[in-house]
Chain A
Amino acid sequence: MNIVVCVKQVPDTWSEKRLDPEDSTLDREATDPVMNEMDEYAVEEALRLQETHGGEVTILCMGPDSATQTVRKALSMGGDRAVHVVDDALHGSDAVATSLVLARAIETIDAVDLVLLGSESSDARMSVVPAMLAERLGRAQLTFAKEVTVDGPTVTIKRLTDDGYQVVEGTTPAVVSVVEKINEPRYPSFKGIMSAKKKPVQTYAVADLGIDPGEVGLSGAWTSVESFELAPPRESGRVVTDDGNGADRLAEKLVEFLASKKFV
Protein backbone atom coordinates (compact mmCIF):
# COMPACT_ATOMS: atom_id res chain seq x y z
CA MET A 1 0.00 0.00 0.00
CA ASN A 2 1.46 3.35 -1.04
CA ILE A 3 0.91 6.24 1.31
CA VAL A 4 1.52 9.96 0.95
CA VAL A 5 1.79 11.95 4.19
CA CYS A 6 1.38 15.72 3.99
CA VAL A 7 3.42 17.65 6.53
CA LYS A 8 3.49 21.37 7.23
CA GLN A 9 6.14 23.48 8.87
CA VAL A 10 4.65 25.85 11.44
CA PRO A 11 5.88 28.22 14.12
CA ASP A 12 6.54 26.50 17.41
CA THR A 13 3.34 26.67 19.48
CA TRP A 14 5.31 28.06 22.36
CA SER A 15 6.52 31.06 20.41
CA GLU A 16 4.61 34.31 20.20
CA LYS A 17 3.00 34.54 16.75
CA ARG A 18 2.39 37.81 14.95
CA LEU A 19 1.37 39.08 11.54
CA ASP A 20 3.79 40.87 9.25
CA PRO A 21 2.61 44.50 8.94
CA GLU A 22 3.79 44.56 5.30
CA ASP A 23 1.54 41.90 3.82
CA SER A 24 -0.57 40.55 6.71
CA THR A 25 0.93 37.06 6.50
CA LEU A 26 2.36 35.12 9.39
CA ASP A 27 5.77 36.50 10.33
CA ARG A 28 7.79 33.28 10.11
CA GLU A 29 11.09 35.03 10.80
CA ALA A 30 9.87 35.86 14.28
CA THR A 31 9.27 32.27 15.31
CA ASP A 32 11.05 28.93 15.59
CA PRO A 33 9.86 26.55 12.88
CA VAL A 34 8.81 22.99 13.73
CA MET A 35 6.80 20.24 12.10
CA ASN A 36 3.09 20.72 12.81
CA GLU A 37 2.50 18.45 15.77
CA MET A 38 -0.63 16.78 14.40
CA ASP A 39 1.31 15.80 11.25
CA GLU A 40 3.71 13.77 13.38
CA TYR A 41 0.76 11.54 14.24
CA ALA A 42 -0.02 11.20 10.53
CA VAL A 43 3.58 10.18 9.80
CA GLU A 44 3.47 7.67 12.65
CA GLU A 45 0.19 6.19 11.42
CA ALA A 46 1.61 5.87 7.89
CA LEU A 47 4.67 4.05 9.20
CA ARG A 48 2.51 1.67 11.23
CA LEU A 49 0.30 0.94 8.22
CA GLN A 50 3.43 0.35 6.12
CA GLU A 51 4.73 -2.12 8.71
CA THR A 52 1.51 -4.13 8.33
CA HIS A 53 0.69 -3.67 4.66
CA GLY A 54 4.03 -2.90 2.97
CA GLY A 55 4.36 -0.38 0.15
CA GLU A 56 6.07 3.00 0.03
CA VAL A 57 5.64 6.07 2.23
CA THR A 58 6.21 9.45 0.57
CA ILE A 59 6.44 12.63 2.62
CA LEU A 60 4.87 15.64 0.87
CA CYS A 61 5.54 19.18 2.00
CA MET A 62 4.64 22.56 0.58
CA GLY A 63 6.72 25.31 2.10
CA PRO A 64 9.77 27.54 1.81
CA ASP A 65 13.37 26.31 1.57
CA SER A 66 13.61 26.24 5.34
CA ALA A 67 10.85 23.61 5.44
CA THR A 68 13.55 21.13 4.38
CA GLN A 69 14.03 20.81 8.11
CA THR A 70 10.50 19.44 8.51
CA VAL A 71 10.90 17.15 5.49
CA ARG A 72 14.08 15.68 7.03
CA LYS A 73 12.44 15.34 10.40
CA ALA A 74 9.64 13.29 8.85
CA LEU A 75 12.12 11.18 6.87
CA SER A 76 14.14 10.56 10.02
CA MET A 77 11.04 9.03 11.61
CA GLY A 78 10.79 6.74 8.56
CA GLY A 79 9.38 6.78 5.06
CA ASP A 80 11.11 6.21 1.77
CA ARG A 81 11.21 9.49 -0.10
CA ALA A 82 9.87 13.02 -0.11
CA VAL A 83 8.36 15.58 -2.43
CA HIS A 84 8.90 19.22 -1.52
CA VAL A 85 7.01 21.92 -3.40
CA VAL A 86 9.01 25.06 -2.92
CA ASP A 87 8.43 28.30 -4.79
CA ASP A 88 8.52 31.97 -3.81
CA ALA A 89 5.18 32.30 -5.58
CA LEU A 90 3.58 30.21 -2.80
CA HIS A 91 4.12 32.84 -0.10
CA GLY A 92 0.77 33.86 1.35
CA SER A 93 -1.22 31.01 -0.22
CA ASP A 94 -4.68 30.43 1.26
CA ALA A 95 -6.17 27.02 2.04
CA VAL A 96 -7.83 26.73 -1.37
CA ALA A 97 -4.50 27.25 -3.16
CA THR A 98 -2.68 24.96 -0.73
CA SER A 99 -5.12 22.16 -1.49
CA LEU A 100 -4.61 22.74 -5.22
CA VAL A 101 -0.83 22.45 -4.92
CA LEU A 102 -1.02 19.36 -2.70
CA ALA A 103 -3.54 17.69 -5.01
CA ARG A 104 -1.39 18.27 -8.10
CA ALA A 105 1.72 17.07 -6.28
CA ILE A 106 -0.08 13.89 -5.16
CA GLU A 107 -1.05 13.25 -8.77
CA THR A 108 2.67 13.10 -9.69
CA ILE A 109 3.13 10.14 -7.34
CA ASP A 110 2.26 6.70 -8.75
CA ALA A 111 -0.42 4.41 -7.37
CA VAL A 112 -1.30 6.28 -4.18
CA ASP A 113 -3.67 4.28 -1.96
CA LEU A 114 -3.88 6.62 0.98
CA VAL A 115 -3.21 10.28 1.69
CA LEU A 116 -2.64 10.95 5.38
CA LEU A 117 -2.47 14.30 7.14
CA GLY A 118 -3.03 15.95 10.49
CA SER A 119 -6.57 17.22 11.06
CA GLU A 120 -5.40 20.78 11.75
CA SER A 121 -2.29 22.91 11.64
CA SER A 122 -1.37 24.71 14.81
CA ASP A 123 -0.95 28.08 13.06
CA ALA A 124 -4.00 28.54 10.83
CA ARG A 125 -6.23 26.06 12.71
CA MET A 126 -8.79 25.94 9.89
CA SER A 127 -9.10 22.13 9.51
CA VAL A 128 -10.19 22.53 5.90
CA VAL A 129 -7.31 21.26 3.76
CA PRO A 130 -8.08 17.50 4.18
CA ALA A 131 -11.69 18.02 3.02
CA MET A 132 -10.53 20.23 0.14
CA LEU A 133 -8.02 17.59 -0.94
CA ALA A 134 -10.68 14.87 -0.93
CA GLU A 135 -12.91 17.15 -2.99
CA ARG A 136 -10.16 17.93 -5.52
CA LEU A 137 -8.96 14.34 -5.81
CA GLY A 138 -12.53 12.99 -5.93
CA ARG A 139 -11.67 10.50 -3.17
CA ALA A 140 -13.31 9.31 0.02
CA GLN A 141 -12.95 11.83 2.84
CA LEU A 142 -12.18 10.01 6.10
CA THR A 143 -11.31 12.80 8.51
CA PHE A 144 -10.77 13.41 12.25
CA ALA A 145 -9.79 9.76 12.66
CA LYS A 146 -8.88 8.44 16.09
CA GLU A 147 -8.49 4.97 14.62
CA VAL A 148 -7.75 3.73 11.07
CA THR A 149 -8.16 0.17 9.82
CA VAL A 150 -7.28 -0.99 6.32
CA ASP A 151 -8.65 -4.29 5.05
CA GLY A 152 -7.90 -4.84 1.36
CA PRO A 153 -9.42 -1.88 -0.46
CA THR A 154 -11.66 -0.96 2.49
CA VAL A 155 -10.56 1.83 4.82
CA THR A 156 -12.55 2.28 8.02
CA ILE A 157 -12.07 5.05 10.54
CA LYS A 158 -13.53 6.10 13.85
CA ARG A 159 -14.27 9.80 13.41
CA LEU A 160 -14.25 11.87 16.58
CA THR A 161 -17.60 13.63 17.20
CA ASP A 162 -18.96 15.88 19.95
CA ASP A 163 -20.43 13.01 21.92
CA GLY A 164 -18.49 9.96 20.73
CA TYR A 165 -17.56 8.79 17.28
CA GLN A 166 -18.86 7.80 13.87
CA VAL A 167 -17.67 4.78 11.97
CA VAL A 168 -16.95 5.91 8.40
CA GLU A 169 -16.00 3.62 5.56
CA GLY A 170 -14.52 4.21 2.13
CA THR A 171 -12.35 2.49 -0.41
CA THR A 172 -8.80 3.27 -1.45
CA PRO A 173 -7.57 5.65 -2.63
CA ALA A 174 -8.78 7.73 0.29
CA VAL A 175 -7.85 10.90 2.17
CA VAL A 176 -7.48 10.35 5.92
CA SER A 177 -6.86 13.03 8.55
CA VAL A 178 -5.92 12.03 12.08
CA VAL A 179 -6.31 13.48 15.58
CA GLU A 180 -3.60 13.24 18.19
CA LYS A 181 -5.19 10.48 20.25
CA ILE A 182 -4.58 7.98 17.42
CA ASN A 183 -1.05 6.90 18.39
CA GLU A 184 2.17 7.96 20.06
CA PRO A 185 4.64 9.24 17.45
CA ARG A 186 8.11 7.71 17.60
CA TYR A 187 11.23 9.77 18.16
CA PRO A 188 13.68 9.59 15.26
CA SER A 189 16.49 7.16 16.05
CA PHE A 190 20.13 8.07 15.38
CA LYS A 191 20.08 5.58 12.51
CA GLY A 192 16.90 7.19 11.21
CA ILE A 193 18.46 10.64 11.31
CA MET A 194 21.54 9.44 9.43
CA SER A 195 19.60 7.53 6.77
CA ALA A 196 17.18 10.45 6.26
CA LYS A 197 20.04 12.44 4.77
CA LYS A 198 20.36 9.90 1.95
CA LYS A 199 16.67 9.56 1.14
CA PRO A 200 15.61 11.12 -2.17
CA VAL A 201 13.78 14.46 -2.04
CA GLN A 202 12.13 15.57 -5.28
CA THR A 203 11.54 19.31 -5.43
CA TYR A 204 8.96 20.98 -7.64
CA ALA A 205 8.15 24.58 -8.46
CA VAL A 206 4.45 25.33 -8.95
CA ALA A 207 4.88 25.55 -12.74
CA ASP A 208 6.26 21.97 -12.70
CA LEU A 209 2.86 20.91 -11.37
CA GLY A 210 1.03 22.64 -14.20
CA ILE A 211 -0.15 25.45 -11.94
CA ASP A 212 0.00 29.08 -13.00
CA PRO A 213 1.95 30.90 -10.26
CA GLY A 214 -0.78 33.57 -10.34
CA GLU A 215 -3.26 31.02 -8.96
CA VAL A 216 -1.33 30.69 -5.70
CA GLY A 217 0.31 32.94 -3.14
CA LEU A 218 -0.96 36.22 -1.81
CA SER A 219 -2.10 37.52 -5.20
CA GLY A 220 -3.94 34.30 -6.03
CA ALA A 221 -5.71 34.07 -2.66
CA TRP A 222 -9.51 34.14 -2.69
CA THR A 223 -9.59 35.95 0.63
CA SER A 224 -7.72 39.02 1.75
CA VAL A 225 -6.88 40.58 5.07
CA GLU A 226 -8.31 44.10 5.17
CA SER A 227 -6.82 45.06 8.51
CA PHE A 228 -5.57 43.60 11.75
CA GLU A 229 -4.64 44.77 15.18
CA LEU A 230 -3.46 43.33 18.46
CA ALA A 231 -6.37 42.53 20.73
CA PRO A 232 -6.38 44.72 23.83
CA PRO A 233 -4.73 42.78 26.65
CA ARG A 234 -7.15 41.41 29.23
CA GLU A 235 -7.31 43.59 32.28
CA SER A 236 -5.80 41.66 35.12
CA GLY A 237 -8.45 40.67 37.58
CA ARG A 238 -8.55 39.99 41.25
CA VAL A 239 -6.66 37.01 42.67
CA VAL A 240 -7.38 35.92 46.23
CA THR A 241 -5.14 33.62 48.22
CA ASP A 242 -5.96 31.38 51.14
CA ASP A 243 -5.57 33.70 54.14
CA GLY A 244 -5.79 30.89 56.64
CA ASN A 245 -9.56 30.72 56.64
CA GLY A 246 -9.49 27.88 54.16
CA ALA A 247 -11.50 26.81 51.20
CA ASP A 248 -14.88 27.92 52.48
CA ARG A 249 -13.83 31.56 52.64
CA LEU A 250 -12.30 31.40 49.14
CA ALA A 251 -15.42 29.73 47.78
CA GLU A 252 -17.54 32.46 49.37
CA LYS A 253 -15.53 35.18 47.62
CA LEU A 254 -15.78 33.28 44.38
CA VAL A 255 -19.55 32.81 44.59
CA GLU A 256 -19.94 36.52 45.41
CA PHE A 257 -17.99 37.32 42.26
CA LEU A 258 -20.16 34.96 40.20
CA ALA A 259 -23.28 36.51 41.72
CA SER A 260 -22.02 40.02 40.87
CA LYS A 261 -21.77 38.87 37.25
CA LYS A 262 -25.21 37.25 37.48
CA PHE A 263 -23.97 33.73 36.81
CA VAL A 264 -25.70 32.50 39.97
Chain B
Amino acid sequence: MAEVLILVEHADGEVKKVTGELLTLAARVGEPSAVFVGDGFDTARATLAAHGAVKVYVADDPELSAYLVAPVAELLSALVTEVSPAAVLLASSAAGKEIAARLAVKSGSGVLTDATDLSADSGTVTAEQQVFGGSTVVRSAVTRGTPVVTVRPNSVAAVQATGAAERVEVSVELTATATAARITDRVVEDRAERPELSEAAIVVSGGRGVGSGENFTVIEALADALGAAVGASRAATDAGWYPHQHQVGQTGKTVSPQLYVAAGISGAIQHRAGMQTSKTIVAINKDPDAPIFELVDFGVVGDLHQVVPALTEKVRARKGGP
Protein backbone atom coordinates (compact mmCIF):
# COMPACT_ATOMS: atom_id res chain seq x y z
CA MET B 1 0.00 0.00 0.00
CA ALA B 2 1.35 3.39 -0.95
CA GLU B 3 2.31 5.82 1.76
CA VAL B 4 0.33 9.00 2.37
CA LEU B 5 2.40 11.87 3.74
CA ILE B 6 0.88 14.22 6.29
CA LEU B 7 2.66 17.30 7.60
CA VAL B 8 2.53 17.46 11.41
CA GLU B 9 1.33 20.77 12.86
CA HIS B 10 2.91 21.27 16.25
CA ALA B 11 4.47 23.74 18.64
CA ASP B 12 7.74 22.30 20.02
CA GLY B 13 6.31 18.79 19.82
CA GLU B 14 2.83 19.63 21.18
CA VAL B 15 0.83 18.14 18.34
CA LYS B 16 -2.19 20.10 17.16
CA LYS B 17 -5.53 18.37 16.94
CA VAL B 18 -5.74 18.68 13.15
CA THR B 19 -2.74 16.35 12.83
CA GLY B 20 -4.82 13.46 14.19
CA GLU B 21 -7.53 14.36 11.70
CA LEU B 22 -4.99 14.28 8.85
CA LEU B 23 -3.73 10.86 9.94
CA THR B 24 -7.31 9.59 10.08
CA LEU B 25 -7.97 10.77 6.52
CA ALA B 26 -4.60 9.46 5.34
CA ALA B 27 -5.51 5.95 6.50
CA ARG B 28 -8.47 5.96 4.09
CA VAL B 29 -6.10 6.48 1.17
CA GLY B 30 -3.01 4.47 2.11
CA GLU B 31 -0.43 3.96 4.81
CA PRO B 32 -0.12 7.09 6.97
CA SER B 33 3.38 8.54 7.28
CA ALA B 34 3.93 11.72 9.24
CA VAL B 35 6.48 14.39 8.36
CA PHE B 36 7.78 16.17 11.45
CA VAL B 37 9.79 19.37 11.03
CA GLY B 38 11.57 21.00 13.97
CA ASP B 39 12.26 20.06 17.58
CA GLY B 40 10.13 17.94 19.87
CA PHE B 41 9.66 14.61 18.09
CA ASP B 42 10.03 12.71 21.38
CA THR B 43 7.10 14.68 22.80
CA ALA B 44 5.03 14.19 19.66
CA ARG B 45 5.73 10.52 19.05
CA ALA B 46 3.06 8.99 21.30
CA THR B 47 0.29 11.14 19.79
CA LEU B 48 1.37 10.32 16.25
CA ALA B 49 1.53 6.61 17.05
CA ALA B 50 -1.92 6.74 18.67
CA HIS B 51 -3.40 8.02 15.41
CA GLY B 52 -1.78 5.38 13.27
CA ALA B 53 1.42 6.93 11.93
CA VAL B 54 3.51 4.03 10.67
CA LYS B 55 6.60 6.09 9.91
CA VAL B 56 7.62 9.56 10.94
CA TYR B 57 10.06 11.40 8.74
CA VAL B 58 11.90 13.72 11.12
CA ALA B 59 13.74 16.80 9.87
CA ASP B 60 15.13 18.67 12.86
CA ASP B 61 17.64 20.88 11.06
CA PRO B 62 16.91 24.37 12.51
CA GLU B 63 17.53 25.89 9.05
CA LEU B 64 14.17 24.48 7.94
CA SER B 65 12.34 26.67 10.43
CA ALA B 66 14.51 29.76 9.97
CA TYR B 67 12.90 30.71 6.67
CA LEU B 68 9.30 31.15 5.63
CA VAL B 69 7.39 28.19 4.14
CA ALA B 70 9.71 27.39 1.21
CA PRO B 71 12.13 25.02 3.01
CA VAL B 72 9.34 22.69 4.12
CA ALA B 73 8.00 22.65 0.55
CA GLU B 74 11.46 21.59 -0.65
CA LEU B 75 11.63 18.86 1.98
CA LEU B 76 8.21 17.52 1.02
CA SER B 77 9.07 17.72 -2.66
CA ALA B 78 12.18 15.62 -2.04
CA LEU B 79 10.09 13.09 -0.09
CA VAL B 80 7.49 12.95 -2.85
CA THR B 81 10.24 12.02 -5.30
CA GLU B 82 11.68 9.45 -2.91
CA VAL B 83 8.58 7.61 -1.69
CA SER B 84 5.99 8.36 -4.43
CA PRO B 85 3.14 8.81 -1.96
CA ALA B 86 -0.52 8.38 -2.93
CA ALA B 87 -1.20 11.88 -1.61
CA VAL B 88 0.22 14.64 0.60
CA LEU B 89 -2.11 16.08 3.23
CA LEU B 90 -1.58 19.33 5.13
CA ALA B 91 -3.68 21.45 7.46
CA SER B 92 -5.53 24.39 5.90
CA SER B 93 -3.57 26.93 7.91
CA ALA B 94 -2.01 29.95 6.18
CA ALA B 95 1.39 28.24 6.13
CA GLY B 96 -0.10 24.83 5.30
CA LYS B 97 -1.79 26.21 2.20
CA GLU B 98 1.36 28.05 1.13
CA ILE B 99 3.54 24.96 1.56
CA ALA B 100 0.97 23.03 -0.48
CA ALA B 101 1.07 25.77 -3.13
CA ARG B 102 4.83 25.60 -3.54
CA LEU B 103 4.88 21.82 -3.40
CA ALA B 104 2.28 21.67 -6.17
CA VAL B 105 4.35 23.88 -8.49
CA LYS B 106 7.59 22.07 -7.60
CA SER B 107 6.25 18.57 -8.09
CA GLY B 108 3.93 19.30 -11.00
CA SER B 109 0.88 18.34 -8.96
CA GLY B 110 -2.64 19.61 -8.63
CA VAL B 111 -3.62 21.14 -5.30
CA LEU B 112 -6.98 21.30 -3.51
CA THR B 113 -7.45 23.47 -0.44
CA ASP B 114 -9.92 23.48 2.45
CA ALA B 115 -11.11 19.93 1.98
CA THR B 116 -13.76 18.87 4.49
CA ASP B 117 -13.65 15.19 3.61
CA LEU B 118 -11.54 12.77 1.61
CA SER B 119 -12.23 9.43 -0.01
CA ALA B 120 -10.25 7.06 -2.20
CA ASP B 121 -11.81 4.93 -4.87
CA SER B 122 -9.63 2.64 -7.01
CA GLY B 123 -6.62 4.85 -6.64
CA THR B 124 -8.39 8.17 -7.20
CA VAL B 125 -8.41 10.55 -4.26
CA THR B 126 -11.55 12.69 -4.12
CA ALA B 127 -11.78 15.70 -1.85
CA GLU B 128 -14.98 17.32 -0.73
CA GLN B 129 -15.04 21.10 -0.33
CA GLN B 130 -17.73 23.46 0.87
CA VAL B 131 -17.52 26.62 -1.18
CA PHE B 132 -19.30 29.97 -1.37
CA GLY B 133 -19.76 30.14 2.38
CA GLY B 134 -20.95 26.56 2.64
CA SER B 135 -23.76 26.95 0.10
CA THR B 136 -22.25 24.50 -2.41
CA VAL B 137 -20.59 21.14 -1.88
CA VAL B 138 -17.97 20.25 -4.51
CA ARG B 139 -16.15 16.97 -5.05
CA SER B 140 -12.85 17.31 -6.88
CA ALA B 141 -9.95 15.14 -7.88
CA VAL B 142 -6.35 15.91 -8.72
CA THR B 143 -5.66 14.86 -12.29
CA ARG B 144 -1.92 15.40 -12.44
CA GLY B 145 1.03 14.50 -10.25
CA THR B 146 0.60 13.62 -6.58
CA PRO B 147 -2.63 14.91 -5.02
CA VAL B 148 -1.74 17.73 -2.61
CA VAL B 149 -4.69 18.45 -0.34
CA THR B 150 -5.10 20.82 2.59
CA VAL B 151 -7.79 19.88 5.10
CA ARG B 152 -9.87 22.27 7.15
CA PRO B 153 -9.49 21.60 10.90
CA ASN B 154 -12.50 20.07 12.71
CA SER B 155 -13.87 18.54 9.52
CA VAL B 156 -13.55 14.92 10.61
CA ALA B 157 -13.19 13.22 13.98
CA ALA B 158 -9.70 11.87 14.61
CA VAL B 159 -9.83 8.15 15.32
CA GLN B 160 -7.45 6.17 17.48
CA ALA B 161 -5.27 3.70 15.64
CA THR B 162 -2.01 1.99 16.41
CA GLY B 163 1.08 2.87 14.47
CA ALA B 164 4.75 2.22 15.12
CA ALA B 165 5.70 5.88 14.50
CA GLU B 166 9.14 4.65 13.47
CA ARG B 167 11.58 7.53 13.24
CA VAL B 168 13.21 8.03 9.84
CA GLU B 169 15.80 10.78 9.68
CA VAL B 170 15.51 13.07 6.65
CA SER B 171 17.26 16.20 5.50
CA VAL B 172 17.32 18.38 2.43
CA GLU B 173 19.88 20.65 0.83
CA LEU B 174 18.09 23.99 0.65
CA THR B 175 18.27 26.06 -2.52
CA ALA B 176 18.86 29.82 -2.59
CA THR B 177 15.14 30.31 -3.30
CA ALA B 178 14.17 28.44 -0.14
CA THR B 179 16.31 30.73 2.00
CA ALA B 180 15.15 34.00 0.40
CA ALA B 181 12.72 34.96 3.19
CA ARG B 182 14.28 34.78 6.65
CA ILE B 183 12.15 34.88 9.79
CA THR B 184 13.98 37.31 12.07
CA ASP B 185 11.49 37.53 14.92
CA ARG B 186 8.34 35.89 16.26
CA VAL B 187 6.11 38.17 18.28
CA VAL B 188 3.32 36.75 20.45
CA GLU B 189 0.68 39.40 21.09
CA ASP B 190 -2.00 37.09 22.31
CA ARG B 191 -1.02 35.35 25.52
CA ALA B 192 -4.45 34.19 26.61
CA GLU B 193 -4.55 30.47 27.35
CA ARG B 194 -7.47 29.67 25.12
CA PRO B 195 -7.84 27.10 22.36
CA GLU B 196 -6.70 28.24 18.95
CA LEU B 197 -9.51 29.69 16.88
CA SER B 198 -9.32 27.40 13.84
CA GLU B 199 -9.02 24.24 15.95
CA ALA B 200 -11.43 25.02 18.77
CA ALA B 201 -14.48 22.80 19.33
CA ILE B 202 -16.39 25.86 20.57
CA VAL B 203 -16.02 29.45 19.37
CA VAL B 204 -17.64 32.49 20.97
CA SER B 205 -17.55 35.55 18.70
CA GLY B 206 -18.42 39.17 19.27
CA GLY B 207 -19.38 41.79 16.72
CA ARG B 208 -20.48 45.38 16.38
CA GLY B 209 -23.05 44.93 19.13
CA VAL B 210 -20.30 44.40 21.70
CA GLY B 211 -19.73 48.14 21.46
CA SER B 212 -16.11 48.51 22.60
CA GLY B 213 -12.83 46.74 23.18
CA GLU B 214 -13.38 46.75 26.95
CA ASN B 215 -16.74 45.03 26.50
CA PHE B 216 -15.00 42.06 24.89
CA THR B 217 -14.27 40.86 28.43
CA VAL B 218 -17.94 39.76 28.43
CA ILE B 219 -17.28 37.60 25.35
CA GLU B 220 -14.04 36.28 26.84
CA ALA B 221 -15.75 35.32 30.09
CA LEU B 222 -18.33 33.21 28.26
CA ALA B 223 -15.58 31.68 26.11
CA ASP B 224 -13.63 30.72 29.24
CA ALA B 225 -16.71 29.24 30.90
CA LEU B 226 -17.29 27.08 27.81
CA GLY B 227 -13.61 26.34 27.19
CA ALA B 228 -13.94 28.13 23.85
CA ALA B 229 -11.82 30.26 21.54
CA VAL B 230 -12.72 33.89 20.99
CA GLY B 231 -13.66 35.16 17.54
CA ALA B 232 -14.63 38.57 16.24
CA SER B 233 -16.48 39.93 13.25
CA ARG B 234 -14.73 42.23 10.82
CA ALA B 235 -16.66 45.19 12.23
CA ALA B 236 -15.09 44.49 15.62
CA THR B 237 -11.53 44.03 14.33
CA ASP B 238 -11.80 47.04 11.99
CA ALA B 239 -12.84 49.13 14.99
CA GLY B 240 -9.73 47.90 16.82
CA TRP B 241 -11.77 46.21 19.55
CA TYR B 242 -10.12 42.84 19.10
CA PRO B 243 -6.93 41.63 17.33
CA HIS B 244 -7.15 40.86 13.63
CA GLN B 245 -5.98 37.27 14.03
CA HIS B 246 -9.33 36.52 15.70
CA GLN B 247 -11.37 37.69 12.72
CA VAL B 248 -13.88 35.14 11.44
CA GLY B 249 -15.22 35.42 7.90
CA GLN B 250 -14.11 36.47 4.47
CA THR B 251 -10.55 37.86 4.73
CA GLY B 252 -10.31 36.21 8.15
CA LYS B 253 -10.43 32.67 9.50
CA THR B 254 -12.88 30.04 8.40
CA VAL B 255 -13.97 27.99 11.38
CA SER B 256 -16.04 24.86 11.62
CA PRO B 257 -16.51 24.19 15.34
CA GLN B 258 -19.07 21.94 17.04
CA LEU B 259 -20.64 25.07 18.54
CA TYR B 260 -20.47 28.66 17.30
CA VAL B 261 -21.91 31.42 19.48
CA ALA B 262 -22.39 34.77 17.71
CA ALA B 263 -23.02 37.68 20.04
CA GLY B 264 -23.89 41.07 18.59
CA ILE B 265 -23.13 39.88 15.07
CA SER B 266 -25.71 40.66 12.40
CA GLY B 267 -24.50 37.87 10.11
CA ALA B 268 -23.53 39.67 6.92
CA ILE B 269 -22.55 37.34 4.08
CA GLN B 270 -18.86 38.11 4.71
CA HIS B 271 -19.14 36.78 8.24
CA ARG B 272 -21.24 33.79 7.27
CA ALA B 273 -18.55 32.73 4.79
CA GLY B 274 -16.31 32.00 7.77
CA MET B 275 -18.67 30.13 10.11
CA GLN B 276 -21.60 28.74 8.15
CA THR B 277 -20.32 25.16 8.33
CA SER B 278 -20.30 25.15 12.14
CA LYS B 279 -22.27 22.17 13.43
CA THR B 280 -24.43 24.06 15.91
CA ILE B 281 -24.99 27.82 15.73
CA VAL B 282 -26.33 30.03 18.50
CA ALA B 283 -26.87 33.78 18.20
CA ILE B 284 -27.68 36.57 20.59
CA ASN B 285 -28.71 39.81 18.93
CA LYS B 286 -31.13 42.56 19.82
CA ASP B 287 -32.30 42.95 16.21
CA PRO B 288 -34.93 40.25 15.46
CA ASP B 289 -34.37 40.81 11.71
CA ALA B 290 -30.62 40.16 11.82
CA PRO B 291 -29.72 37.65 9.06
CA ILE B 292 -27.74 35.56 11.56
CA PHE B 293 -31.08 34.21 12.82
CA GLU B 294 -31.59 32.47 9.46
CA LEU B 295 -28.68 30.18 10.36
CA VAL B 296 -29.21 29.48 14.01
CA ASP B 297 -30.17 26.32 15.80
CA PHE B 298 -31.05 28.51 18.74
CA GLY B 299 -31.41 32.27 18.72
CA VAL B 300 -32.03 34.81 21.44
CA VAL B 301 -33.42 38.22 20.62
CA GLY B 302 -32.10 40.32 23.46
CA ASP B 303 -29.32 42.54 24.75
CA LEU B 304 -26.04 40.65 24.75
CA HIS B 305 -24.71 42.85 27.56
CA GLN B 306 -27.30 41.26 29.84
CA VAL B 307 -27.84 37.85 28.28
CA VAL B 308 -24.18 36.87 27.86
CA PRO B 309 -23.12 37.54 31.48
CA ALA B 310 -26.23 35.72 32.71
CA LEU B 311 -25.43 32.80 30.42
CA THR B 312 -21.82 32.76 31.64
CA GLU B 313 -23.05 32.43 35.24
CA LYS B 314 -25.40 29.59 34.34
CA VAL B 315 -22.75 27.72 32.36
CA ARG B 316 -20.36 28.02 35.31
CA ALA B 317 -23.05 26.83 37.70
CA ARG B 318 -23.88 23.79 35.56
CA LYS B 319 -20.25 22.92 35.18
CA GLY B 320 -19.86 23.25 38.93
CA GLY B 321 -16.97 25.64 38.52
CA PRO B 322 -16.28 28.84 40.45
Contact = CB atoms under 8 A, between A and B. Distances in A.
Interface of A: 13-14, 16-19, 24, 37-38, 94-96, 99, 120, 122, 125-132, 134-136, 138-144, 146, 156, 158-171, 174, 179-181, 221-231, 234, 236-242, 246-248, 250-255, 257-259, 261, 263-264
A37 B177 CA distance: 30
Nearest to A167: B185
6 contacts: A166-B68, A222-B111, A236-B296, A251-B311, A251-B314, A254-B300
B184 interface: yes
B244 A181 contact: yes
Contacts of A170: 180-182
Given A18-B132, A228-B139, A230-B135, A140 B110 contact: no
Contacts of B270: 13
Given A135-B73, A169-B184, A222 B145 contact: yes
B237 A181 contact: yes
A33 B113 CA distance: 24
B254 to A, nearest CB: 8
A146 B296 CA distance: 33
A80 to B, nearest CB: 27
Interface string B20-64: 000000000000000000000000000000000000000000000
Nearest to A159: B68
Interface in B43-99: 68-70, 73, 93-94, 97-99
A234 B68 CA distance: 40
Contact of B226 (A241, A251, A263): A263
Interface in B165-190: 176-177, 180-190
A264 B109 CA distance: 45
Given A226-B126, A252-B314, A168 B244 contact: no
Contact of B282 (A24, A163, A171, A254): A254
Interface stretch (B156-164, B206-214, B302-310): B302-310
Contact of A18 (B68, B94, B98, B136): B136
Given A13-B269, A166-B185, A263-B202, A223 B136 contact: no
A264 B318 contact: yes
Nearest to A164: B189
Nearest to B110: A222
B112 interface: yes
B136 A128 contact: no
A135 B178 CA distance: 9
Interface string B125-148: 010001110111111111111000
Contacts of A239: 288, 293, 296, 298-301
B187 A167 contact: yes
Given A226-B140, A264-B315, A166 B181 contact: no
A227 to B, nearest CB: 5
